[in-house]
Structure formats: structure tokens, C-alpha cells
Chain A
């Protein structure tokens, strides 16, 4: 296995320092860390890391995915791990750039100890640059089809059934059915005290950061 030379890009200080020290303790060579995309680009040029662990949300300006794309342009072989609270990258369609091939997707909620992070980082070095690997995904998200994902995204963005139907070139009835199936998938249909649509919006926010 190739030696890992890791760069961590995370705008939140406490999380970044925690990751740096915990990963070092786990034998990973963290050669650089930066709170900003701009700093990361400079460090990447100077220190040529072979893996970058990037937080998806870096505050105003470019997102972690913009940075990942740029780093891949600078170094086509760099391994990329996106640290995120978005459980399924399909939910980000049209509001985010494409994932660079071979990107690892690490959901924060699933991380309880650093060994899991270390494992994903190690994988990213050897992973083929031709395919994406989603490291973690809730069982509910795995079951969702692309149509359901797109509908969930539009519900989350505040569109009505009629508007969704218009956007997706389908009937309103079909949208209703999709929403009903989504509610079933997320076990929302047995919670009559909650507004189904509002609960779906919550699901969307939880899985996407409302991107």
C-alpha cells in the first residue's frame, strides 16, 4: 500500500484539530491542514499530498466538492474523501458540482471513532479513479430510486405537488404516489400526529444540509 500523505481541509477548528491529532495517533501522516479552500490549493501545490480529506461545507465561497474538483485537476491521482452530513450525493443534484471519479463519501453521523476515518482514507489511495464509492449510507437512502430522490429534493426545496409535477413532466397523481412511497420508506406514514410533508422536508434537511 502506498504511503499516505494526507491533507485535511475543515473550516471548523475543533473538528480539524481533533481529526489531525486522532489520525496521527492512528499512524496516518497528516502533512497539511487548512481551514480554507484557498489555503488548501496553495498547500497542495507546495506539499503534493496524495489524499485530501475535505469537509463539504467550507462556509462562503467554494464548497468541498469545488475544491475536490480543482485538486483533481492539479493532480489527477489524488485520493479524495468528502466529509459530509449529506447521506446521499444524489440529493445534491443541480446544486453541486459532479463528484470527481473515485471520491469517497464519508458521512459524519456514522463516525464514532477515528479508525473508520482512517480506513476510508487508506481505501481512497488504492481506489480506482473510475468509480465512486459511498462509504456510508442509511438503509432507507439505499432503497430510494432516482425518481424518489429527485422528488424528495423538490419537496425539500418547498415546491408544491403541482409545481413538482410540472418540473418533472408527470401528473400530480404520480407525484402524490411517489411522496406516499417516500413516507413509507422513512416510516412517516405511521406518525399521524406529524405533518407528512413537513416531516419529509425534515428528512431532506437532515440528509442534505438543505443544499
Chain B
């Protein structure tokens, strides 16, 4: 029997809420606790079939079906939300739609459960309970749905950004591959060109030796020519190999970005988090209802607790103390309400109920706090992981873009250097050999012929020995050489910040190319006699190149290849302006940095 104090409390506080005593099946006698787990439409539906005397196996089956119905409903709602997000652009419509869907889905599910429960426990269906159940389940889902949708929409937004980034990456990759293919093509064409030049130079000699029927001499010449060609081919192959390596590097980068992309998906904890919220909402709602809570506690107290709970999740990482306090308040309110409603529902001793209420109070405190911590932690880590990975992806795209510029520049530089070598150095050598061959033939000078052949042999041993398509001089050394070679024609003075030497060599090479071009322009177009060069690496790691001359200033004209080079190396960050108050022009340019 309840104590008088308990009765008073019940009368004073709970009387108006007796309507909300609990659902029909809670009032059944000897209700095994296991049946709480059956409270899902499908579970109960399955239970009805075995209600006379379910075996353990049948009970297990009922539990399984019950559980699957939660998951199934969650998935169904998830799909519905996705459809809504796809079709509704305005957030207001979207939110109203989501709330309605949540409310209807939860309400229908709750009402169905109630009907089936009445059937299962063979009690009369109480219309009040039915409405109550419909409302409370609806409200519970009404809260869960926007939370879920919010997180899901976050994932969708994220995917959208990611897809855009990926398409940028793909375009960059196409550009790079085109460049590499072009460069490979050039290498094989050069090889054919060498063969042709050798034939032109040595053809007449070979013919004249053949005429004299000196077979060993022809064999020796052929061997030398083969080696010359083979040596050249080897170097060309080496260059192709370098290009292939670059290609592998590029592909590696793409694989890396694919990895980033995949890990973005797997590391995104939003999906499990939201699934957890939904499944919990499914499980928790009927449990609360079945054992402890009445409808209003779910609708009102539960709603406020959910808000506090969400608030805590949001703030727990920033202000753990305040969040813990909020959770404590919420759980306390929940615990007390629970106790009073239980007192009303079961008419038990107040002392027993108080014990239970304190027990559940602490249990809930811990449970809610624990869940808030886990969920907020998961969400935080998900956010951080997402941000970190997004940053990585962005920087990978930035790097790809820079490397494309660099590749363009290097590709042009390599083609130019190789061509210069073949058509310049090698052609000079072949011209000199040709002159000497004619001379030796005319004079019948056997010694000169032999010495010439040994020179060709030397050339054959490493025909591209002097070819170095990547200038390895650092900036300071490179400018020193420029100043030396231009001396007598142009005076070059140079100043740089002390950290120039520590720049990656490739960036020094790019800076040197700019300076080389600017100096040549100063002389050719500006007719300058003095050039001041300044290179500065700023605290923001930007490399600024300034070249000032005392020439005749800027004249209108079509930009030549020099400006193309400036454009490539700086990605558009350059300016060429007439000096103020004195003759000449100043080139200001910022080198593209390739290191992140």
C-alpha cells in the first residue's frame, strides 16, 4: 500500500496527469522484462503468432525481427531524407518536410506498436493510450529527424565540395599527361634527328672509304657511328625514363588523392553517429514508455532533455563544465519525473520509488553524460578529420596546379636544352669534323684522319656528355656567371636575402630563368647598360624577383616568349613598369612556390 505521504504527493502533483499513465500493455500482469524488447511493430507482429507459449527459439526470432524493424525503419527514413534534400532547395520547406516526416513516421510506428501490443497481451485497445502513443512516438521522432537530417545534409554538402575538387584534380591530371606525352614524343623525334645528322655528316666519308674498298675502315666507322647513335639513344631513353618517373610520381599523387578521398568516406563518422541516434531513439523511446515514463514526460521533459542533450553535444568540447552541468540538470529532471510518474503508475511505496528514482537519476546522469561525450567526441573527431582531410585535398590540388605550371616550364626548358644541344653543340662538332674530314681527304693526311676518328670515338663514348637539361647552378652562382658573361656589354649588380641558398634548387632555377630573360630584354629591347637584380625571400616565404634597368623604357609591342615564361613561372603574378622619374623599366615578379 502506498504511504500517506506518497498518496498526498500523487494527489497534489500527479493527479492532472493520470490520463498519461502509460500504455495498455504496461498494465498487464506478470509482464516479463524481455517483452520490452518486443515493442516494435514487426516484433510484436511476430510475437502475436507465438504468444500462446513461445519457445526460446521463437522468442529469439521475435527479438531479431523487432530489432530489424528498427533498422529497416531507420534506413527508410534516411532514404526519405535524402530524397527531400535532393528535391527541396529552400531550407524552410526542407525543415518542415523533415519534421512532418519524422512526426508521421514515428507516430504511425508508435500507434501500430500500441495496436499490436494490445493484440499480443490480449488486452482491450485503449483509445487514449493509442493517441498518447501516437503523439509521443511522433514527438520523439520529430526530434531525432532534424538532427539526423542536419548531419546527413552535412555529409551531402561535403560530398559536393569533394566532387568539385576531384573534377579539378582530373583536369589537372589531363594537362599533366598531355605535357608528358608531348615531351616523350619530342625525345623520340630527337633520336631520329641525330640519326639523320650522322648520316649527312658521315655519309660522304663512308662512300669514299667504300670506293677505296677499305673494308676494315668502313667496319670501324660503322661501329663508331653505331655507338654514337646508341649512346645518344641511351641518353634519350634516360630522358624518357625521367619523364616516365615523373609520370609515376604524378600517378602516385593521384593514388594518394584517391586514398584521401576514400578515407574521407570511411573516416566520416557522421553516418554511424546518426544511425546510432536513430536506433537509440527507436530503442529508448519504447523502453522509457514501457517501464518508466508516461507520454508527457517523453513529449515535454524528453524534448527539453533532448535539446539540452544536443546542446551539450555541441558544447562539450568547448565548455565541458557547463555541458556536464546541463546534462546533470537534464538527467536530474528526467530522474525525478520518472520517479513521480512511476509512483503514479504502480502505486508503490514512496521509499522504494525514491530509491529507484535516485538510482535511475544517477544512472541517467552517467548514461546521458557518457553518450554526450561519446557522440560529441565522435562528431568532433569527424569534423576534425573531415577538415584535415579536406585541407589535405585542397593543398594537393594547389600543389598539382603549381606542379603543372612547373612541368610546363620544365618541359619547355628540357625541349629547348635538348634541341639546343643536338642542333647547336652536336651540329658544331659535326661541322668541325666535316671540315677536318675534307681537309684530311684533300691532303691525304692519314694521321689527321685517324685523330679525327678517335675524336668521333670520344664523342661516341658519351655523345650527350655535355648535355644537362636541368641547370644545377644555384641562384647566386647562376647570377655570378650571368654577370661575368655579360661583362663588357652590360653591368649587372646583384643583391639577395641571405636565405636564398636554402631555397629548393628547382625554385632557384626558375628564379634564374626569369632573371636571365629580364637581363636579355634590358639589353635587347631597352638598350640598357646597367641592370640591378634583387631576389628576396620574404617572411611569408614568397620569392620576389626585381630587375631594374636604365634603358629606354617600355615600348608598346606584342609580348614575346619572355612574357610567356614570366607568366608560367609566376602564374600571372608579375608586372613590367617604367621607372618613376628616371629612365628604364622594372620587372617585379613572384615565383610560384612548389613546396607546400
Residues of A within 8 A of B (CB): 10, 12, 14-15, 18-19, 22, 25, 36-38, 41-42, 55-63, 66-67, 69-70, 85, 93-97, 108-109, 111-114, 117, 157-158, 167, 195, 198-199, 201-202, 205-206, 209-211
**Pairwise interchain contact A61-B561, C-beta atoms closer than 8 A:** no
Q: How far is A18 from B193 in the complex, measured between Cα atoms in Å? A: 24
Q: Which of B419, B478, B482, B561 contacts A209 (CB 8 A)?
A: B419
Beyond A60-B516, A66-B523, is A18–B438 a contact (Cβ under 8 Å)? Answer: no
Q: Out of B204, B411, B439, B523, name the residue touching A62 (CB < 8 Å).
A: B523
Other A-B contacts than A22-B439, A198-B185, A201-B186, 11 sampled, CB-CB below 8 A, are A12-B429, A38-B484, A61-B482, A62-B489, A85-B424, A85-B427, A94-B561, A96-B524, A111-B434, A209-B416, A211-B416
Are A41 and B428 in touch, CB under 8 angstroms?
A: no
Whether B439 contacts A205 by the Cβ 8 Å rule is: no
B182, B200, B434, B486: which contacts A61 (Cβ < 8 A)?
B486
Which 10 A-B pairs have CB atoms at the shortest separation, nearest pair first?
A61-B485, A94-B560, A41-B488, A18-B432, A210-B419, A113-B438, A97-B524, A205-B419, A210-B416, A15-B432
Q: Does B391 contact A (CB under 8 A)?
A: no
**Is there contact, CB below 8 Å, between A95 and B561?**
yes
Complex alpha-carbon distance, A205 and B193, angstroms: 10
The reply to whether B489 and A12 form a contact with Cβ atoms under 8 Å apart is no
**Does B420 have its Cβ within 8 Å of any Cβ on chain A?**
yes
Q: CA separation between A7 and B276, bound complex, in Å?
A: 89
- Most chain-A CB neighbours within 10 Å: which of B415, B427, B490? B427
**CB-nearest residue of chain A to B484:** A38
Among candidates B189, B425, B516, B523, residue contacting A12 with C-beta atoms closer than 8 Å = B425
B415, A205: Cβ atoms under 8 Å? yes
Q: What CA separation (Å) do A36 and B488 show in the bound complex? A: 11
Task: Report A126 CB to chain B, min CB distance, Å.
Answer: 24
B558: Cβ under 8 A from any A Cβ = yes
**8 Å CB contact of B432 from A14, A36, A62:** A14
Instruction: Name the residue of chain B whose CB is nearest to the CB of A93.
Output: B560
Q: How far is the CB of A40 from chain B (nearest CB, A)?
A: 8
Render B402-425 as a binary contact track against A, CB cut-off 8 A, 1 for contact. Answer: 000000000110011001100111
Q: Within the complex, what minimum Cβ distance (angstroms) separates B196 from chain A?
A: 9
Contact A37 to B489, CB < 8 A, known contacts A108-B431, A158-B182: yes
Interface residues of B, CB < 8 Å — how many?
49
Contact present for A108 and B427 (CB under 8 Å): yes
Given A22-B435, A109-B200, A202-B189, A210 and B420 contact (CB-CB distance below 8 Å):
yes
B564 at interface by CB-CB < 8 Å: yes
Instruction: Say whether A111 contacts B481, CB under 8 Å.
Output: no
A67–B431 alpha-carbon span in the complex (Å): 22
The distance from the CB of A66 to the nearest CB of chain B, in whole angstroms, is: 6
Identify A113's interface contact among B200, B435, B523, CB under 8 A.
B435
Contact with A along B191-232 (1 / 0, CB 8 A): 001000000100010000000000000000000000000000
A117 to B436, CA, bound (A): 13
B562 cross-chain contacts in A, Cβ below 8 A: 95
Q: Which residues of B contact A69 (CB under 8 A)?
A: 524
Residue of A nearest to B200 (CB): A109
Query: With a CB–CB cut-off of 8 A, which chain B residues contact A201?
Result: 186, 189
For A40, the closest partner residue in chain B by CB is B488
Interface residue? B150 (CB, 8 A): no
Q: How far is the CA of A22 from the CA of B437 in the complex (A)?
A: 11
| Complex-state Cα separation, A28 to B182, whole angstroms | 46
Contact between A198 and B489, CB atoms less than 8 A apart: no
Residues of chain B with a CB closer than 8 A to A70's CB: 488-489
Residue of B nearest to A57 (CB): B424
Partner of A10, one of B428, B478, B487: B428
B520 in the interface, Cβ–Cβ < 8 Å?
A: yes
Which residues of the other chain, A, contact B520 by a CB distance below 8 angstroms? 62-63, 66
Closest chain-A Cβ to B583's Cβ sits at a distance in Å of: 18
CB distance from A53 to the nearest CB of B (A): 12
B423→A18 contact, CB < 8 A = no
* Contact residues, B466-499 vs A (CB, 8 A): 471, 478, 481-482, 484-490
Inter-chain CA distance A62–B561, complex, in Å, is 17
Let me know if B435 and A114 touch, CB within 8 A.
yes
Q: What are 7 sample pairs from A and B whose C-beta atoms fall under 8 A apart?
A: A12-B425, A61-B484, A62-B485, A66-B489, A157-B561, A201-B189, A202-B186
Q: Is the CB of B423 within 8 A of A59?
A: no
User: Within 8 Å CB of A211, what residues of B?
Assistant: 416
How far is A38 from B485 in the complex, measured between Cα atoms in Å? Answer: 6
Residues in B whose Cβ lies below 8 Å from that of A96: 524
Chain B residues near A19 (CB, 8 Å)? 432, 435
Interface contact A55-B428, CB-CB below 8 Å = yes
Q: How far is the CA of A42 from the CA of B182 in the complex (A)?
A: 43
Tell whether B86 is near chain A: CB-to-CB under 8 Å: no
The residue of chain A having its C-beta at the shortest distance from the C-beta of B201 within the complex is: A112
Say whether B428 contacts A108, CB under 8 Å. yes
Given A36, A41, A114, A209, which contacts B424 in the complex, CB threshold below 8 Å?
Answer: A209
Residues of A within 8 A of B481 (CB): 60-61
Q: Give Cα A61 to B531, complex, Å.
A: 13
Which chain B residues lie closer than 8 Å to A61 at the CB level?
Answer: 481-482, 484-486
Q: How far is the CA of A202 from the CA of B425 in the complex (A)?
A: 17
Report if B455 contacts A (CB, 8 A).
Answer: yes
B residues less than 8 Å from A167 (CB atoms): 558
Interface pair A113/B487, CB less than 8 Å apart: no
Contact A37 B485 (CB under 8 A): yes
Interchain CB contact under 8 A, A14 and B429:
yes
Q: For residue A69, give the distance in angstroms from its CB to the closest CB of chain B.
A: 8
Beta-carbon nearest neighbor of B408 in chain A: A158
Best-buried of B416, B471, B482 by chain A (most CB within 10 Å): B416
Tell me, in angstroms, the Cα distance from A206 to B425 when the chains sit together: 13
Query: Quick one: which of A37, A60, A63 has the most chain B CB within 10 A?
Result: A60
Query: Residue A25 contacts which of B200, B439, B516 (CB distance < 8 angstroms)?
Result: B439
